[in-house]
Structure 1
Amino acid sequence: MTQRCTWCGDDPLYVAYHDTEWGVPESDGRALWEKLILDGFQAGLSWITILRKRDAFRDAFQGFDPEKIARWDDDDVARLLGNPGIVRHRGKIVATIGNAQAYLDLGGSQAFADWIWGYVDGTPVVGHYASLADIPASTPLTTQISKDLKKAGFKFCGPTIVYAWMQACGLFNDHVTGCFRFDQVASEVPPTSPGWERL
């Protein structure tokens, strides 16, 4: 029988996410930004709730295009608050607009990827955790990254959100050691981005 991290249960959507996406190193800055936004929307909710709404989120947020979102105004906020397909939380929606502006201020996709991956020197941190109970909710590193993101103008990026985001995006390989994906993800480390060596 295939061994997996227990957090995904037996929901087919959750299992597919665990098996194909979670923990795979993500080097595309725009994709990293999208996942940070979605993790922010997860605050107070379960990730499966966001996962089930992800397509609706992508449609409502115009493919998570930061350049479009950064120009949104109160009318766009009202439009999203009327969309039952997403999580309708004014603070998180307004924060997304600000987070798009902060992302662009940092220089966009490559600059954002270089910055975030620079915290781990371009190489995923391997957790070597035997069980879910061993995995922390945050670390000193995610606390520092959270502070730096906030300083750069980001919101809904506390240490716990940042930790979950970094796990999902493969900056941490936190599949438990008995999970069949633990070794597979370790072999999927992307080649070093040209930018990381400058950090």
Structure 2
Amino acid sequence: MSELVPNQTETFRCPWCLGFEDYIRYHDEEWGVPVYSDRKHFEFLVLESAQAGLSWATILKKREGYMRAFEDFDYQKVADFTEEEIERLIGNPDIVRNRLKIQAAVNNARKFIGIQEHYGTFTDYIWGFVDGKPLQNEWKSMSAVPAATELSNQIARDLKQKGFKFLGSTIVYSHMQATGIVNDHLVQCHRHQEVKRMAMY
């Protein structure tokens, strides 16, 4: 990620989002906002597992394609995908055509439902790791932001034990950042305090 600092007469943003307009919009409107919707959590899990080995920018550009291909991220429907439907997805140019990642998304939908059956909601499960309170970091540079933490290691291990695939610690930490479980906006970013005020679980 670039450490370039935008013109200080403009709004300061975390430098990683400055590549293109949709990236900036995602940073300004979604990244770090606490998520309490199970469907939205499932959406990010699908997208983040697809990201493995790729950039988030690549996945963001394919987001609408994923929305269409995965039934608007309805995990009940995705859990019922047949082998024939998986084969069709592998030929879909609007998503990452990786068989293992697509199979993982279908597998993870089924495990996602299993978590709901045990914990009530996936939201209750994932937020339980932080007692419902977003972790508020105070990073001043992108180089200080970790790729994974002991907590993401713990969650990744638990998900693996529950049968999830393509959700290692780095991807789990990305999920925590995206869904507001941790606030990793730089302190000088205009969204840092805005996101901090959203902690209302």
Question: Please, what TM-score do these two structures have when normalized by structure 2?
Answer: 0.92
Paired position in structure 2 for 1:123: 133
Paired position in structure 1 for 2:22: 13
SS for the counterpart of 2:199 is coil
Fraction of identical pairs, as percent: 46
Matched, 1:188 2:198: yes
Paired position in structure 2 for 1:140: 150
- Structure 2 alignment gaps of length 5 or more: 1-9
Matched, 1:29 2:38: yes
SS for the counterpart of 1:185 is helix
Structure 2 counterpart of 1:81, one-letter code: I
Paired position in structure 1 for 2:7: none
Query: What's the C-alpha RMSD, in Å, of the aligned pairs?
Result: 1.2
- Cα distance in 2 for residues equivalent to 1:18 and 1:110: 30
- Cα distance in 1 for residues equivalent to 2:23 and 2:143: 19
- Cα distance in 2 for residues equivalent to 1:98 and 1:81: 15
Paired position in structure 2 for 1:195: none
Structure 2 counterpart of 1:2, one-letter code: T
Matched, 1:112 2:122: yes
Paired position in structure 2 for 1:196: none
Matched, 1:40 2:61: no
Q: Which has the higher contact order (CA 8 A, sep 6+)?
A: 1
- Cα distance in 2 for residues equivalent to 1:126 and 1:180: 15
- Structure 1 alignment gaps of length 5 or more: 193-199
Question: Please, what TM-score do these two structures have when normalized by structure 1?
Answer: 0.93
For residue 171 of structure 1, report the CA deviation from its aligned partner: 0.3
- Cα distance in 1 for residues equivalent to 2:143 and 2:116: 38
Contact 1:173/1:182, CA 8 A, preserved across alignment: yes
Contact 1:29/1:110, CA 8 A, preserved across alignment: no
Q: State the aligned residue count.
A: 191
- Cα distance in 2 for residues equivalent to 1:16 and 1:70: 30
- Cα distance in 2 for residues equivalent to 1:107 and 1:5: 34
Structure 2 counterpart of 1:157, one-letter code: L
Which of 66, 78, 83 aligns to 1:74? It is: 83
For residue 110 of structure 1, report the CA deviation from its aligned partner: 4.9
